[in-house]
Chains A and B, each alone.
Chain A
Amino acid sequence: MPQTMLAILAMMLFSLFAVQQQEKVYFAQSTMIRQTVSAMLNGAAVERLEEIGSKGYDQSIVDNETVTSTAELASAATGFGPGNDPTPEDDIDDFHAALDTLYRAVGTDSLSFHVESTVQYADEVNPSVPAAGGIKTKFKLVTVTVRSIDLEDLEATVSRSFSCGSGCQW
Chain B
Amino acid sequence: MTIFLMVFNVNSRNGRAMNETTAFYAMATQTESFAKILRRDLQGIQDVLTISETSQSGGVTVFSFRSRIGQDTTLRTISYRKTPAATHYGTLFYYIERLIDGTVDGESGDIITDWEIIALNEDAGNITDTDDAAQVYVRLEAASPMLETEVIRSIKWESRFFPPLRN
Measured CB to CB, the residues of A under 8 A from B are 10-11, 14, 17-18, 21-22, 24-25, 28-29, 31-33, 35-36, 39-40, 42-44, 46-47, 50-51, 53-56, 104, 106, 160
B39 is an interface residue with CB less than 8 A from chain A: yes
Contacts A28-B18, A32-B152, A53-B162 given; indicate if A39 touches B6 (C-beta within 8 A).
no
A54 to B45, CA, bound (A): 12
B167 is an interface residue with CB less than 8 A from chain A: yes
B54-62, B83-91, B108-116, B153-161: which one contacts chain A?
A: B153-161
Task: For the complex formed, measure the closest distance between the CB of A48 and the CB atoms of chain B, giving whole angstroms.
Answer: 9
Pair count A-B, CB < 8 A: 81
A36 to B6, CA, bound (A): 32
Measured CB to CB, the residues of B under 8 A from A are 3, 6-7, 10-11, 13-14, 17-18, 20-21, 24-25, 28, 31-32, 35, 39, 43, 151-152, 154-162, 164, 167
| Chain B interface SS verdict (over half) | helix
Q: Would you call A28 and B21 a contact (CB within 8 A)? A: yes
Task: For the complex formed, measure the closest distance between the CB of B39 and the CB atoms of chain A, giving whole angstroms.
Answer: 6
- Measured between beta carbons, the chain A residues less than 8 angstroms from B24 are 32, 35
Task: For the complex formed, measure the closest distance between the CB of B16 and the CB atoms of chain A, giving whole angstroms.
Answer: 9
- Measured between beta carbons, the chain A residues less than 8 angstroms from B160 are 47, 50-51
* Residue among A31, A46, A55 having the largest count of chain B Cβ atoms under 10 Å: A46
- Measured between beta carbons, the chain B residues less than 8 angstroms from A31 are 21
